[in-house]
Structure 1
Amino acid sequence: MRLVIGKPLGFCFGVKRAIDKLEAALKDYGKVYALGSPIHNEEEVKRLISLGLELVEAVEELPQSSVVFIRAHGTTPEILEKAREKGCTIIDGTCPSVKNAQEKARLLSQEGYEVIVVGDPKHPEVQSIKGCTAGRASVVSSSKDVTDFPSKDKIGVVSQTTQEEGTLLSIVSVLLRKARELRAYNTICKATLHRQETVRKLAAETEGIIVIGGRNSTNTAKLVEVGKREGSDVLWIAKPDEIDKSWLENKHIIGIAAGASTPDWLINDVINSLSSR
């Protein structure tokens, strides 16, 4: 069995920046609270919890004057204000690409555009982007969602950073017929696009692809979708003990890909486990 390692692997710039900030804060303060999971990788979050991280789901759960970490997905201006009112020290780990999408959504809203965010409405990043429009943006995930969208004078579009470009383009093409003026920003992160292209290449070169990433990671799920669409036999695992022995049978060339929030140490564990077989 030969392994073809797709690159890039490991944390993307935004996630690495967030983790570096969080580890520094844990070293300085001992205990740090995170509003929701700091990144979407369960194994890495377990490691961070062992260093003193504590997860809370709502700003109301934060102790007065505590240290709070804003995850890579960002948060809404309203939540930030509530944390400041509680006297919290804020460590902002928001990914720069997410900040860009937030700023573009805020700009469109301020200039009178009907704002549409392309993404998963339940995802914390999308909620943080929508929050920058005072909650007035609409969230859509496919061109079907805008088929019956009413005509408007001005429509503005931004995207969740981990979307596929094809999805964004299909939605924009439908909206072109519904707006007198359409302004669309491609806020998809380049790291996301590079990883999706890597999976396409692996699909052409291998007999199957193992994608390593958290079950709640949108960018990892997109890699799995891309691989399957390219006709590859894809196995999605979160950790080494999920490797399916029966899936490996009769495969001689296997590709390895990973989501942008999958740490190097976990990828190495998977590669070492496969190599030992």
Structure 2
Amino acid sequence: MKVLVASPTGLCFGVRRAIEALEATLEERGRVYSLGSPIHNPQEVERLKAKGLVVVDEIDQVPPGVTLFIRAHGVSPQVFREALRRCGEVIDGTCPFVRKAQERAMVLSDEGYPVLIVGDGEHPEVKGILGFVNGFAAVVPHRGRLEEVLDGHRFQKVGVLSQTTQKLEVFFDVVKALVGIVPEVRVYNTICSATLERQRAVCELASSVQGIVVMGGRNSANTRKLYQIALESGAQAVWIEHPDELDYGWLADKGSIGLAAGGSTPDWLIRELIERLEKL
């Protein structure tokens, strides 16, 4: 079977940077606590746990004096201050693109703009960004929810930014709608370049293969968007979390397969999948 791999694919800069910092700290300290899963890939999390990683959900679950890792999604200023107070050492793995979104949100807030974030309100990155806003802030999942989110507010100006893994089309749709109803709209496109490059790579791949396998954690926002883009591009596509989920019946009538992986999918899993596909 011919296998074409989307380029780029797999670990993005921010996640790779964070995981490398975490692994180095694990080598030095032996045990490191992480506030939330450090990567949206359960197989990689299990590998890191074997090295001494302990994952907790809330800051008050972190024992005093330990080493704490802040994942690439970042946290709110309030949580970060509590981490510094509580822990003996804090390793900040916040992605530079996420940090830029945090800074943009703070600038908009400081200049008196109500802040709208285009993204998933339950995503840890978005929850962290909201913490940088003093004043009105709301999350807009997509254009269809805009009226509900504004809830009758007649703002004279708004500031808009995006979750870093958002689809560009969704972000633009919200901005376009806002321009029609708010006199002043200040926009920061905070979608990271790695996200855009991976989304475009899947679009290009769709026309060259008979099917696309998208691999990544079920809780990975960017993997979900890659899968949606593959389907929207007209490709037959499946979403798997690891190579053991491959449906060989689905592959049977295909002579060429494209492979795309989310920004939280480690290199070793991608290599394993490629090896299996190439043996068919």
TM-score bracket relative to the smaller structure: over 0.9
Return the TM-score normalized by structure 2. Answer: 0.96
Amino acid at match of 2:190: T
CA RMSD of aligned residues (A): 1.1
- Conserved? CA contact 1:211–1:236, under 8 Å: yes
Aligned to 2:156, the other structure's residue is in SS state strand
What pairs with 1:76-87 in structure 2 (closer than 5 Å)? 76-87=76-87
In structure 2, do the counterparts of structure 1 residues 51 and 86 end up closer, same or farther at CA, with 3 Å as the change threshold?
same
1:239 aligns with 2:242: yes
Deviation at 1:188, TM superposition (A): 0.2
Structure 1 CA distance for aligned equivalents of residues 135 and 36 of structure 2: 19
What is the match of residue 140 of structure 2?
140
- Conserved? CA contact 1:208–1:251, under 8 Å: yes
Amino acid at match of 1:230: S
What is the match of residue 169 of structure 1?
172
Structure 1 CA distance for aligned equivalents of residues 279 and 209 of structure 2: 20
1:70 aligns with 2:73: no
State which of 221, 227, 231 in structure 2 corresponds to 1:224: 227
Structure 1 CA distance for aligned equivalents of residues 132 and 66 of structure 2: 24
What is the match of residue 128 of structure 2?
128
Q: Where in structure 1 are there 5+ consecutive unaligned residues?
A: none
Amino acid at match of 2:269: L
- Conserved? CA contact 1:212–1:257, under 8 Å: yes
Deviation at 1:12, TM superposition (A): 1.1
Aligned to 1:108, the other structure's residue is in SS state helix
- Conserved? CA contact 2:33–2:62, under 8 Å: yes
In structure 2, do the counterparts of structure 1 residues 208 and 174 end up closer, same or farther at CA, with 3 Å as the change threshold?
same
Amino acid at match of 1:204: S
In structure 2, do the counterparts of structure 1 residues 241 and 135 end up closer, same or farther at CA, with 3 Å as the change threshold?
farther
Structure 2 CA distance for aligned equivalents of residues 265 and 87 of structure 1: 32
Amino acid at match of 2:198: R
Amino acid at match of 1:227: A
- Conserved? CA contact 1:9–1:264, under 8 Å: no
Structure 1 CA distance for aligned equivalents of residues 103 and 203 of structure 2: 31
Deviation at 1:135, TM superposition (A): 7.5
Structure 2 CA distance for aligned equivalents of residues 5 and 19 of structure 1: 23
What is the match of residue 198 of structure 2?
195
Q: Where in structure 2 are there 5+ consecutive unaligned residues?
A: none
Deviation at 1:178, TM superposition (A): 2.5
Most deviating of 148-157 and 16-25: 148-157
Most deviating of 237-246 and 128-137: 128-137
- Conserved? CA contact 2:114–2:135, under 8 Å: no
What is the match of residue 268 of structure 1?
271
Aligned to 1:38, the other structure's residue is in SS state coil
Aligned residues with identical type, % of pairs = 47
- Conserved? CA contact 2:230–2:237, under 8 Å: yes
Aligned to 2:183, the other structure's residue is in SS state strand
Structure 1 CA distance for aligned equivalents of residues 209 and 176 of structure 2: 34
Return the TM-score normalized by structure 1. Answer: 0.97
What is the match of residue 181 of structure 1?
184
Partner deviation per Cα, 1:228-253 (whole Å, 9 max, x = no partner): 00111111111111000111021111
What is the match of residue 103 of structure 1?
103
Structure 1 CA distance for aligned equivalents of residues 9 and 233 of structure 2: 20
Deviation at 1:160, TM superposition (A): 0.3
Amino acid at match of 1:254: I
Structure 1 CA distance for aligned equivalents of residues 178 and 72 of structure 2: 30
Deviation at 1:137, TM superposition (A): 1.3
